[in-house]
Amino acid sequence: MVDDDDDNFELPDLPIYDKGPPPDCPICGDPMKFIDGDWACVDCNGELLGPETG
């Protein structure tokens, strides 16, 4: 049985976090990217950098 009141709610807005400017990679010196909640250098970490899927 489905309650009609279950669909009558709104989610709060997500907060926006100011991360500031990206730090430079200690290996190559290029600016890093914010990936999965932390700074990472895509070029130095290769194509295997990304969210874990399993």
User: Using one digit for the tens of pLDDT, what is the confidence trace for 12-50?
Assistant: 888 877 778 999 999 899 999 888 778 888 888 866 665
How much is the pLDDT for 30?
92
- Answer with the residue of higher pLDDT: 44 or 52: 44
Total number of domains in the chain: 1
pTM of the complete model beyond 0.85: no
**Residues in the chain, total:** 54
> Is position 35 within any domain?
yes
> Is position 27 within any domain?
yes
In this predicted structure, the answer to whether residue 53 has a pLDDT above a threshold of 60 is: no
Residue range of the domain that includes 25: 20-45
How much is the pLDDT for 18?
74
Q: What is the CA radius of gyration of the chain?
A: 19
Name the residue among 47, 49, 48 with its Cα closest to residue 34.
49
> Is position 54 within any domain?
no
> Is position 51 within any domain?
no
How much is the pLDDT for 2?
60
